[in-house]
Amino acid sequence: TVGCVVVDGQGRCAAATSTGGLMNKMTGRIGDSPLIGAGTYACDLCGVSCTGEGEAIIRGTLARDVAAVMEYKGLGLQEAVDFVVKKRLDKGFAGLIAVSNTGEVAYGFNCNGMFRGCATEDGFMEVGIWE
Amino acid sequence: MGGWAIAVHGGAGVDPNLPLERQEAAKQLLTRCLNLGIAALRGSLPAIDVVELVVRELETDPFFNSGRGSALTENGTVEMEASIMDGEGRRCGAVSGVTTVKNPISLARLVMDKSPHSYLAFSGAEEFAKKQGVELVDNSYFITEDNVGMLKLAKEANTILFDYRIPLETTCGGAMESPIVMNGLPISVYAPE
């Protein structure tokens, strides 16, 4: 699975996710990536893209929950990401990337590593795999 | 108002014994995609266009599990899915079960922009793709040698791999010794996305 989240200079957020799904999956199986609110979500507050164990991401409505805890609990972006990865995945394994309309970027995962890269306008740039 | 920001991912769950050269290749691809997005943002492209542009690049490169290089079904074929969402107005588009669309994310974008729906799947999505004139290729375009080998290993291990790939032969032994279990299976049957 691959994904990208962006907030542009006007504060507009967007998210996109694409995948081949699971190796050896049954034909006709649908995972989290095409499900809005599970693998992908964007609103005026943030943009989120998820990857990992699709069935756990769907059950946890992971992407929407990042936006929801920002909206209803007033959490900041990284706090929201940490909360959702810690509390919404039950025994599942997944990771996600997110941006906020104020130009922040965040990610979180509870499995072995996640291929990710992030950058902000003030010059920050990071590409990583492990913790 | 903050400035722009961008993040990309290539999948979660990485075999701890992933060879360094593959780690390096992954980082180079992620860096290339970040720079593509940064250049577009500096050119004032809207966020929705930037996410589509970057995911297209990731779909076209066979390294990660999407587009070319997608994981294979139990039948050794490729069935892809994608979704896109614009925070401005919360517009969205998604596709599932596409087998000939070169860039599924762009079809998802067309579902959002050019159809009255937010999700099209399987034959309906393929019909829509033909009508919209997006680039179509044979399913074999998406299948890589690497993945044919990994499907074989997955079948031998009689498992479905969560966005992971069987470690390369060279690393398998090392991974086999690691006591780590994920989703109830030894980490050795997983490999990085």
Q: Is B3 on the interface with A (CB under 8 A)?
A: yes
The DSSP code sequence of A82-125 is HHHHHHS-TT--EEEEEEETTS-EEEEESSS-EEEEEEETTS-E
Q: Is B23 on the interface with A (CB under 8 A)?
A: yes
Q: Which of A4, A127, A129 is the closest to B54 by Cβ?
A: A4
Q: Is B134 on the interface with A (CB under 8 A)?
A: no
Q: Which of B7, B14, B80 is the closest to A5 by Cβ?
A: B7
The pLDDT value recorded for residue A111 is: 93
Q: Are B163 and B142 within 8 A, CB to CB?
A: no
Taking CB atoms and an 8 Å cut-off, how many pairs form between chains A and B?
A: 361
Cβ contacts of A125 within 8 Å, gap of 6 or more: A117, A118, A119, B34
Q: Which of A2, A26, A31 is the closest to B64 by Cβ?
A: A2
Determine the Cα–Cα distance for residues B190 and A58; give it in Å rounded to an integer.
21
Question: Is the Cβ pair A23, B104 closer than 8 Å?
Answer: no
If you search the block for the tokens 């920001």, which residue do you land on? Answer: B5
The pLDDT value recorded for residue A21 is: 94
Determine the Cα–Cα distance for residues B8 and A101; give it in Å rounded to an integer.
17
The pLDDT value recorded for residue B192 is: 38
The pLDDT value recorded for residue B186 is: 56
Q: Which of A16, A93, A104 is the closest to B183 by Cβ?
A: A93
Per-residue pLDDT of chain B (193 residues; tens, 9 = 90+): 689 999 999 999 988 899 999 999 999 999 999 999 999 999 999 999 999 999 999 999 999 999 999 999 999 999 999 999 999 999 999 999 999 999 999 999 999 999 999 999 999 999 999 999 999 999 999 999 999 999 999 998 877 654 444 343 333 333 344 455 555 555 454 443 3
**Which of B123, B112, B185 has the alpha carbon at shortest distance from B153?**
B185
Neighbours of B12 (CB within 10 A): 31
CA of A72 vs chain B CAs: smallest distance (Å): 17
CA of B170 vs chain A CAs: smallest distance (Å): 19
Q: Is B26 on the interface with A (CB under 8 A)?
A: yes
Residue B35 CA from chain centroid, whole number:
19
The three-point CA angle B100-B102-B108 to 5° equals 95
Give contacts of B52 with chain A, Cβ < 8 Å: 16
Q: Would the ipTM clear 0.95, i.e. be above it? A: yes
The pLDDT value recorded for residue A131 is: 80
Question: Is the Cβ pair B160, A27 closer than 8 Å?
Answer: no
Determine the Cα–Cα distance for residues B9 and B58; give it in Å rounded to an integer.
9
Q: Is B85 on the interface with A (CB under 8 A)?
A: yes
Cβ contacts of B37 within 8 Å, gap of 6 or more: A4, A6, A119, B6, B8, B50, B53, B54
Neighbours of A71 (CB within 10 A): 14
The pLDDT value recorded for residue B2 is: 82
The pLDDT value recorded for residue B169 is: 38
Question: Is the Cβ pair A11, B2 closer than 8 Å?
Answer: yes
In this prediction, the residues of chain A whose per-residue pLDDT falls under 70 are none
Q: Are B55 and A14 within 8 A, CB to CB?
A: no
